[in-house]
């Protein structure tokens, strides 16, 4: 029996994958499990590499895993990354250390950079120029590093939640030290700033579409 781990930052990123799976929450980490001839365990603990590390520990709690996927939303660093689309990533770069981790799928040439903060447009342009990457997230590098340490295959499937030119609020101020998103505070903030509503509504549509695209890509990948 193969034990496959699927790690994201937020439950919404996993929504299209985990329908009907058994859920539990332990020590601030949400996990979902499904068994057929193999075992699948999904987990999320929040944004950032520390949170991803906690999620990785959670999926290993009962037994070692055989392969791991980093999935979830990412920001586009180039204009040709369409909002709502999902991509099998060729490799991941840690912006803090410059480390590069190749995905075992070896799919294409599209690289993802993991940043320590949610990137606005100016930061996206800097990351694209510095690393020649097409997408940005906050977690994949930690998962890639842990997979490499354990000698297990690592894959990343990311969906575009915000295109390069998206004008969005600064989400960093609403991320708690443990990586959890302060939804209540953000909702109150956005409620009194209607000029953000169209962009946020569009991001919601993009994210929903991206989640389904990620689920479809993951299902096709595992079927192969």
The answer to whether the beta carbons of residues 57 and 44 sit under 8 Å apart is: no
Torsion-angle region of 192 (φ positive above 0: left; ψ -120 to 50: alpha; else: beta): alpha
Q: Is the pTM of this model over 0.85?
A: yes
- Per-residue pLDDT 10s for the chain (224 aa) are 899 999 999 999 999 999 999 999 988 999 999 998 899 999 999 999 999 999 999 999 988 999 999 999 999 999 999 999 999 999 999 999 999 999 986 567 899 999 999 999 999 999 999 999 999 999 999 999 999 999 999 999 999 999 999 999 999 999 999 999 999 999 999 999 999 999 999 999 999 999 999 999 999 888 77
Angle at 187 between CA 14 and CA 159, to 5 degrees: 30
Cα gap 46→10, rounded to integer Å: 6
182 Cβ contact partners less than 8 Å away, ≥ 6 residues apart: 174, 175, 176
Q: Residue 203 belongs to what domain range?
A: 3-223
Output the six-digit token pair for 72. Answer: 């979830």
Q: How many domains does the chain have?
A: 1
Instruction: Please report, for the domain that includes residue 25, its CATH number.
Output: 3.40.50.1580
């Amino acid at each position: 029996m193969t034990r496959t781990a699927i790690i994201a930052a937020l439950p919404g990123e996993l929504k299209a994958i985990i329908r009907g799976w058994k859920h539990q929450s332990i020590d601030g980490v949400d996990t979902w499990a499904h068994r057929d001839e193999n075992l699948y365990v999904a987990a999320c603990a929040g944004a950032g590499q520390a949170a991803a590390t906690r999620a990785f520990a959670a999926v290993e709690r009962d037994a070692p895993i055989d392969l791991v996927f980093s999935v979830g939303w990412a920001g586009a660093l180039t204009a040709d990354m369409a909002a709502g689309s999902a991509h099998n990533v060729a490799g991941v770069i840690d912006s803090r250390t410059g480390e590069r981790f190749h995905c075992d799928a070896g799919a294409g040439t599209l690289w993802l950079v993991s940043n320590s903060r949610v990137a606005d447009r100016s930061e996206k342009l800097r990351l694209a120029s510095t690393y020649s990457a097409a997408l940005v997230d906050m977690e994949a590098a930690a998962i890639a590093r842990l997979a490499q340490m354990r000698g297990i295959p690592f894959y990343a499937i990311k969906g575009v939640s915000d295109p390069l030119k998206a004008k969005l609020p600064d989400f960093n101020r609403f991320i708690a030290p443990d990586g959890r998103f302060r939804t209540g505070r953000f909702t109150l903030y956005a409620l009194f700033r209607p000029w953000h509503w169209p962009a946020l509504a569009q991001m919601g549509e993009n994210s929903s579409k991206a989640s389904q695209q990620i689920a479809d890509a993951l299902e096709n990948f595992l079927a192969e």
